[in-house]
Amino acid sequence: MKVGLFLPCYIDQLFPQIGMATVAVLERFGCEVEFPEAQTCCGQPMANTGLCEQTRPLAERFFEIFKPYEYVVCPSGSCTAMIREHYDDYLGGKPGFEQLKLKTFELTEFLTDVLKVTQPAGRFPHKVGLHQSCHGLRELRLGSCSERVGPSFNKAKQLLEGLEGITFSQLTRADECCGFGGTFAVAEEAVSAMMGLDRIHDHEQAGTEVLTANDMSCLMHMDGLIRRQKKPIKVMHIAEILEQSGVGL
């Protein structure tokens, strides 16, 4: 199975270890992973600020680069949602686009739904607080959310709960936004920071040792607040936890 790895800009530029952890986990489960170096931004920041004509060439570039792959995997619910839920505005009707959408997956979604990985063996003896990012939760349906009635599920937790020694924080508001919101954090920085601090406080009261999520954008926002206030919470992307736990070895 040949997988094209699509990395968000901030992971590529600021957190390359998450990209490497993603590759390691996918390879452990038998995937042949390629990182097309011609890839660029998915265009989400431009789309969020209404710059549709600046977004279009980025969507077209993504299509041309990734259409040959059997699957496309991205360690970000936000960027994956941009491709699957919003590229219709730029690529709708283009031959092959619907097929590309169907084979583009967020990392935990790919592991659980395509590779059928369920509670893989590994060890991570820490109390983990799971943050559910808004795009992954409400656009990709990577987990159940409080405003909808239905069965409870969470694809990230499904992968983590089989790890030896792991426990989970019991949050009072399990699916609340962290306040990042991309350009929202720039335009409304005070509100964004207060939302982030509120989210962190919930993890503090629950005894979180390691704060994790599917999206490094959310974690980047909260990690900045955690470091500035010198709080004893470690931040790790779920790919890092899976890789360090020895999953798939």
Q: What is the domain count for the chain?
A: 2
Say yes or no: 145 and 179 in one domain.
Answer: yes
List, as one string, the DSSP characters of 15-59. -HHHHHHHHHHHHHTT-EEE--TT----SHHHHHTT-HHHHHHHH
Residue 122 covered by a domain: no
Rounded Cα distance, 95 and 85, in Å: 17
Task: Residue 92: give the domain boundaries.
Answer: 2-114
Domain closes at, from 51, 83, 114? 114
- Tell me what percent of the residues of the chain surpass a pLDDT of 70: 100
Say yes or no: 29 and 90 in one domain.
Answer: yes
Residue 56 covered by a domain: yes
Residue 164 CB-density burial (10 A; 0-12 exposed, 13-18 middle, 19+ buried): exposed
Say yes or no: 78 and 177 in one domain.
Answer: no
Residue 124 tokens read as 């991570």
φ, ψ for residue 129, nearest 5 deg: -105, 120
Residue 7 covered by a domain: yes
DSSP 8-state assignment for residue 188: T
Domain closes at, from 91, 114, 137? 114
pLDDT of residue 57: 96
pTM of the model: 0.94
DSSP 8-state assignment for residue 154: B
pLDDT digits (tens, 9 = 90+) for 65-100: 999 999 999 999 999 999 999 999 999 999 999 999
Say yes or no: 54 and 146 in one domain.
Answer: no
Mean per-residue pLDDT, 130-159: 91
φ, ψ for residue 33, nearest 5 deg: -105, 130
The CA-based dihedral angle spanning residues 157, 110, 18, 239, taken in that order and rounded to the nearest 10 degrees: 30
Say yes or no: 105 and 147 in one domain.
Answer: no
Say yes or no: 147 and 228 in one domain.
Answer: yes
Say yes or no: 144 and 218 in one domain.
Answer: yes
The HSE-up count of residue 227 (CA atoms within 13 Å, CB side) is 7
List, as one string, the DSSP characters of 216-229. HHHHHHHHHHHHHT
Say yes or no: 19 and 41 in one domain.
Answer: yes
